[in-house]
Amino acid sequence: MRTPPNATTAKSTPDVRHDWTREEAQALLGLPFNDLLFRAHSLHRQYFDPNAVQKSTLLSIKTGGCAEDCGYCSQSASAPTGLKATKLMQVEAVLDGARKAKDAGASRYCMGAAWRAPKDRDMDMLCDMIKGVRAMGMETCMTLGMLTKEQTERLHDAGLDYYNHNVDTSESYYPEIITTRTYQDRLDTLQHVRDSGINVCSGGIIGMGESEAHRVDMLVTLATLPEHPESVPINMLVAIPGTALENQDRVDPLDFVRVIALARIMMPQSMVRLSAGREDMSDEMQALCFFAGANSVFVGDELLTTRNPGQSKDDALFNNLGIKGIAAALRDHAPQ
């Protein structure tokens, strides 16, 4: 298994648990706000530099036309969003984007394709993308939908550092959001990724109409895996016109911060990422998220098909908070 950047080298500590119960997690989430943040920040400071944030860039390498019916996604073929489907990008175009991302300060390059699952015929190009980005000294991440064991092994052999496959929400609420695949399908792909030696990136989306209990259950699912995901992206729903969730109310900012804090407490060695929705977050809200344990963001003007704060806005925020970027820490390709 490749070691994630800045993680402690300790194999096990009293804080790293895999036996969380729903009742324990719910009690933590219900703490007074200051008590919850104090506990989360104390753990964050124990395992990470509290003034360092990993910067990643996300590129859509194949947009739209997805056969899945995810209620939040503008790329679903069943959502009348007006988004035009595209073919898989050529390798050199993807690498050109990676060069620009590195020049802008990104240490991880994430590539996403709107597929239910990749076709075997696409694997050669995907592997060439991974090799090319890694040759630049950047970490690599992909999100391509469901994977077979054989596909996962090919991505590993090409040098893929992380694979993103979000659980999205709790198992009980999942059918309200997606009907074209099951929660177990997602867990199976995560297991293929883990078995291959690729680091796992998995989180969810807040603000899809789920209850507080659903948010707790989602984090319990991740925190009770045999190994915690090395990266845990927490997205705030962007209600896109034409999607099934276009009329969802925006989540309360302090409720969102509470979820960040809970993720940090339950998975203290993981990178917790502020993902989609930052365009609608105030500087103050983001600052609270960083204090609560978030230490990774996506930078760049766009995340797949949604807006993201530009570099100048992020630079101003990070300078104001005294936050620096985390450099990539590439490891040996072979699993240990």
> Known catalytic residue: 127?
no
Marked catalytic residue, from 108, 201, 264, 289: 201
The strand pairing partners of 296, in sequence order, are 54, 273
How many alpha carbons lie under 13 Å from residue 299 in its C-beta half-sphere?
28
- How many of the other CB atoms lie within 10 Å of CB of 242? 12
> Known catalytic residue: 110?
yes
CA distance 291 to 136: 31
Marked catalytic residue, from 2, 73, 154, 215: 73
Marked catalytic residue, from 39, 66, 134, 289: 66
R_g (Cα) of the chain, nearest Å: 18
Nearest to 264 by CA among 205, 226, 236, 223: 223
> Known catalytic residue: 201?
yes
Contacts of 300 (CB under 8 A, 6+ apart): 57, 58, 101, 104, 106, 308, 310, 311
Marked catalytic residue, from 134, 215, 273, 278: 273
Marked catalytic residue, from 108, 110, 134, 186: 110
Marked catalytic residue, from 2, 134, 141, 289: 141
Cα 68 to chain center, whole Å?
A: 19
Contacts of 48 (CB under 8 A, 6+ apart): 6, 295
**Three-state SS for 140?**
strand
Q: What are the residue ranges of helices labelled H in 14-77?
A: 22-29, 33-47
Residue 70 · residue 76 · CB < 8 Å: yes
- Determine the angle formed by the axes of helices 283-292 and 311-321, rounding to 10 degrees: 60
Marked catalytic residue, from 70, 194, 215, 289: 70
| Catalytic machinery residues | 66, 70, 73, 110, 141, 201, 273
